Structure 1
Amino acid sequence: MRDVIEHRAGFPVERALRGTAAAARSDVVLALLEQQGAAVSTARRWRLPPYASKPLVLFSVWLAEDIRSAAPEARRQLAKRYSGADLITHMSVHETEILEDAGISRDRTLPVTFGVNDDYYTPGTGPRDIELLAVGQDRGRDYRTLFDAVRGTDLVLTLVCAPANVAGLDVPDNVRMMGLVPLADYRELLRRARVVVVPTHELAYPTGQSVALEAASTGACVAVTGTQAMREYFEDGTTARLVDVGDAEGWRQLLLELRDDPAQRAALGASARVAAQTRFSARGMWAEIAASCVERGLV
């Protein structure tokens, strides 16, 4: 029954139904991620209790990108689906305009500074014995460009991702495929990596930011694609090294440079760790959202 309902609705419903009793006792409903807020938003539009009287905050990741890449009618449907939300957060300033163009008023949006758990992602005590590490199965990953960069070199790349991420790609011999790993193993890989590489496409949101900032929090040297959104989180030469979108030759030159420059890696890693603690912590992100809820009178 659940599968039939959710298939026809086009969004998850079960958690909103299971949450009705808790929502009745709560000051605000926070949806993680935006899809989980679709049913609550619909209930608010239809004035269904208990959600009708509860402010709804959507913690969104993909909404602006989905709107940007959708056909006109699909954009209208997405804006309508989330019209019951009082506040929609997003992770890059330029996403605000995308949402506004779709009919979501600016006073219902909030660009937040994404943060990670810097108490969990801490520097390790062992050696950094992994030359290059890439992690991630987000739709924004650009492993084709990364493979072109390391192909034919003596660089050694360790890659953690789902098989679907590399389907149809020619994986070079110097790439060590690990598949998916548990969370604790992932943290240990970040601690062991000399350089954490995050190659991405240009999307509306800062795709790859979780891995990049978690790596930064461990004190790893981070190299990322310099998308418009990611440049809000990393500064080239200070907290990371940035490469243009799709620039395989640029990646090759940078990775060879970082491989042979331990002093640069150490300096970048130290600066990245400080930035994660002072500017990009989860504590700061949630405090920012909470303060906005108070400021806007939602709680």
Structure 2
Amino acid sequence: MVTRSPLKVSYLFAGPRGGPLESVRRGENHGAGFWGLCHLNAFGIEANFLDPEQVYPQALSRFLRKILSTYWIHLSVFWKLFSSDIIFTSTAFGTQLIYTLLRTSHPRWIMHDFNITGFLGKRKTRKQKIFAFMVSRCAGIVTLSKKEEDMLKEDFPHLSKKIAWIPFGADLKFFSPTPVEEKRQILVVGTDPDRDYRTLFAACEDLDIPVVVTTISSRLTPLGPLPRFVSVRRFSPQELVQEYNCSAIIVIPLDTTRRLNDAMGCSGLFEAMAMGKAIIATRTFTMESYITDGENGLLVRERDADDLRTAIKKLLADDALRRRLAANARAYAEKNLDINVCTKRLAEFFRMIAPE
């Protein structure tokens, strides 16, 4: 009997992943942000990431990242791509362009979609046309929303069987609620560039409720002095679980007007659902894929402070509603967002795309 070698998948991330991955292996962090990489071995797939830091001295790697953008950084390790069966990435578009121009079928290139339709636009500019050319010749696409999956299948019918909506999920053991007394506070989690803090802060004026924001400071700098009710904090992964646990409401305020990333907010959403929290999120294609308004969360209009304020006041005034939304959010996560279930689906997708 011939034993087949395990399928080899290489992930191309925007930034270095060696340190964060080690923290996952030590049990200090969850692995959801690695899109299944940490769990694929359980399904017979040999998964790893490829960074210039694995090949070059630290000083040279820093120099390469300084002169090469996120889209092009993996050109510095291009020859190493060919030892894999599948490349999986959401950002390495420059490297993908060179790969596409070579017209090679090995390895297979799968795009992890954060908003491919946003980059495609109306396909009028040169960049949009080049991007459409790349997408049309990839081996498959994993989306984070049902709407994005449907739109891409319509735009690229020859890929329709190779486009799948697969969330990266959450570690339900790491993000597990425990009985505690909730604080009357709003928690906002995430470092996405298009978080709509301006609308959130306007909505919370005169509500007499603290707002705890965990993000990088540069996201808030354009807003100037912050309102008195806002505190900005950074948490370790374990501390973040505790903060989720004791917060009454989780808000995910988003601004998609730049149309570059409809999938922003997914990590915070999956974590909050796993923690069984009452969630208010901006209505986007991606949020609508997971939240049924009034059932496992509330959806509000984009950049509408009045609508967001109404939703916050509604949850603060109705403990029963808040508890029901929270319980339904956890139930949804258990059924649909378990990282092991999501990774199994991803493994099956990889095998379907892989060369025979």
Judge same fold: TM > 0.5, yes or no: yes
Q: Alignment partner for residue 341 of structure 2, among 255, 267, 284?
A: 284
Q: Secondary structure at the match of 2:232?
A: strand
Q: Residue 16 of structure 2 aligns with which residue?
A: none
- Deviation at 1:125? 4.3
Q: Calculate the aligned-residue CA RMSD, in Å.
A: 3.0
Contact 1:41/1:82 (<8 A) preserved: no
- Deviation at 1:15? 7.0
Q: Alignment partner for residue 283 of structure 2, among 208, 222, 226?
A: 226
2:118 is equivalent to residue 43 of structure 1: no
Determine the C-alpha separation between the residues in 1 that align with 2:175 and 2:249.
Answer: 16
Q: Alignment partner for residue 140 of structure 1, among 194, 214, 218?
A: 194
2:308 is equivalent to residue 251 of structure 1: yes
Q: Alignment partner for residue 329 of structure 2, among 260, 269, 272?
A: 272
- Deviation at 1:82? 4.6
Q: Residue 58 of structure 2 aligns with which residue?
A: none
What amino acid is the match of 1:227?
T
Q: Higher mean Cα deviation, 274-283 or 125-134?
A: 125-134
Q: Higher mean Cα deviation, 161-170 or 224-233?
A: 161-170
Q: Deviations over 1:250-276 (max 9, x none)?
A: 211221221232222222111111100
Q: Residue 240 of structure 1 aligns with which residue?
A: 297
2:183 is equivalent to residue 162 of structure 1: no
What amino acid is the match of 1:59?
H
Q: Alignment partner for residue 6 of structure 1, among 62, 68, 93?
A: 68
2:138 is equivalent to residue 85 of structure 1: yes
**TM-score (norm. length: structure 1):** 0.83
Q: Residue 263 of structure 2 aligns with which residue?
A: 206
Q: Higher mean Cα deviation, 39-48 or 141-150?
A: 39-48
The aligned runs of 1:167-182 (5 Å cut-off) are 167-169=221-223, 171-178=226-233, 180-182=234-236
Q: Residue 164 of structure 2 aligns with which residue?
A: 110
- Deviation at 1:127? 2.9
Q: Residue 114 of structure 2 aligns with which residue?
A: 61
Q: Deviations over 1:59-82 (max 9, x none)?
A: 221333222388521111223345
Contact 1:11/1:36 (<8 A) preserved: yes
- Deviation at 1:177? 2.0
Report percent identity of matched pairs. Answer: 19
What amino acid is the match of 2:139?
D
Determine the C-alpha separation between the residues in 2 that align with 1:69 and 1:130.
Answer: 45
- Deviation at 1:147? 0.8
Q: Secondary structure at the match of 1:56?
A: strand
Contact 2:210/2:229 (<8 A) preserved: yes
Q: Secondary structure at the match of 1:237?
A: coil
Q: Higher mean Cα deviation, 157-166 or 105-114?
A: 105-114
Determine the C-alpha separation between the residues in 2 that align with 1:278 and 1:148.
Answer: 35
Structure 1: gaps (5+ residues): none
Flag the 1:99–1:72 CA change in 2: closer, same or farther, 3 A.
farther
Determine the C-alpha separation between the residues in 1 that align with 2:337 and 2:126.
Answer: 36
Q: Higher mean Cα deviation, 93-102 or 205-214?
A: 93-102
Contact 2:188/2:213 (<8 A) preserved: yes
Flag the 1:172–1:30 CA change in 2: closer, same or farther, 3 A.
same
